[in-house]
Structure 1
Amino acid sequence: MARLVDRMSASLIGDFRMNAPPLARYRRALETYIDAKDNTLAPRIAEAFAADAVLTMSLATSAIAFPARTVGAAAIAKTLVTDFGAQYARCRTYYVCDSLEVQDGVLDAIPWLVVMREQASGALRVGHGVYRWTFDETPFVTHFDIHIARMDVVPDADGALLDALQAGLDYPWLAPAALHAHFTTLARDTPALAFIDAFSRPASAPDFSHPV
């Protein structure tokens, strides 16, 4: 059973880049996706996803909507980059984890956090959930499962709350301890951000399955 583990402490990041190029390629694919999504660069999706890749979505909230299943890199780029970017700005998506583990081409249950702004209303949106990635031997993404566990929408006309949340967070790789320290402090000290305590811990993984 193929298994690669990345412990993302400062001392080991350099080691795995030098000594484990296969794992570095998985990591690069995840970073390419974040760059495409957060910076509205739709062509970059083809750098990480197979042409016939499948995206599945599960939502535990009614605060945001996506199609349940999308097939093909071009369609995925439209859903997750072009259409998404038309609705949201100043988006930052974080991988909330201390390590990556690849087992038989699967990166399973990677918690994520998103902090962004609605284009139309200026409202702050904070959401979290879990990703599951499946790769071929290239490695290109063949299946991408996104679970959205929670999404809160809060008035933020001047963007000050968004600035406070994003300030000081490592991007796109965010250690759970750093997230917890930053968000619990803000929840305690800023009344308008009291809700953010619910996002101070990584989201729990659902039972992922691929539809037929």
Structure 2
Amino acid sequence: MKIDIENIIRRYIRAKDDNNPQLMNRVFSEQATLEMEVNTGAIDFPSVTQGRDEITKTLVRDFNKTYENIYTFCLSDSVIEKQNSLDCRWFVAMSEKATGDVRVGYGDYQWRFCNDDLCLVDKLTIVIEDMIVFSNTEEGELMSWASGLPYPWVRSSELSTCTPEIIPLSKILPVIT
């Protein structure tokens, strides 16, 4: 992977997961587009968001009002890089602030970069394949597992390392990878 692209994606994940909206100025172009394809009823996003400020509101400010303990991972062995684009699988583990319930989801990122010296994201498509909700009684075990993984780039094989013995999780891991 090109170091510039990897660092932009790493910066995006830090912005989203750690509630740092100021970092988005160094991720998305001002007129960027976010498209969301949500294939689950367990989470909701607008299908299209226009402009860096609105993307920041959706993916950082609003998202962090609802969720905490967010760990977003890109699967490094799923990366397909072409000129001005990078596609990869992702998965996330996070807890809901109001209930403590844990959500584990996965899907695909499709990054498209501007053709200029800044190399910012011009379009991001996020496909959410599934989002499984676990009770707050499993928060400690799931968050401990997620926090022990290499972050934010992880190999598919590392996901099964010390995986908690939770039935729905064991069913989705083969699908993620």
1:179 and 2:159 correspond: yes
TM-score (normalised: structure 1): 0.77
Q: What code does the residue aligned with 2:168 have?
A: F
- Which residue is 2:68 aligned to? 89
Change (3 A) 1:158 1:146: closer
1:170 and 2:116 correspond: no
4+ residue runs of structure 1 moved beyond 3 angstroms?
A: 201-204
- Which residue is 2:112 aligned to? 134
- Which residue is 2:167 aligned to? 194
Identity of matched residues, %: 31
One of 47, 50, 56 as aligned partner of 1:68: 47
C-alpha distance in structure 2 between counterparts of 1:93 and 1:202, whole Å:
17
Change (3 A) 1:202 1:46: farther
TM-score (normalised: structure 2): 0.92
- Which residue is 1:103 aligned to? 82
C-alpha distance in structure 1 between counterparts of 2:79 and 2:108, whole Å:
13
RMSD across aligned C-alpha pairs, in angstroms? 1.7
Residue 158 of structure 1 deviates from its aligned partner by 7.3
Change (3 A) 1:52 1:170: same
| Secondary structure in 2 matching 1:51 | strand
Structure 2 spans left out of the alignment, 5+ residues: none
Who wins on radius of gyration, i.e. which is larger?
A: 1
Residue 68 of structure 1 deviates from its aligned partner by 0.2
- Which residue is 1:31 aligned to? 10
Structure 1 spans left out of the alignment, 5+ residues: 1-5, 7-22, 188-192, 205-212
C-alpha distance in structure 2 between counterparts of 1:100 and 1:76, whole Å:
23
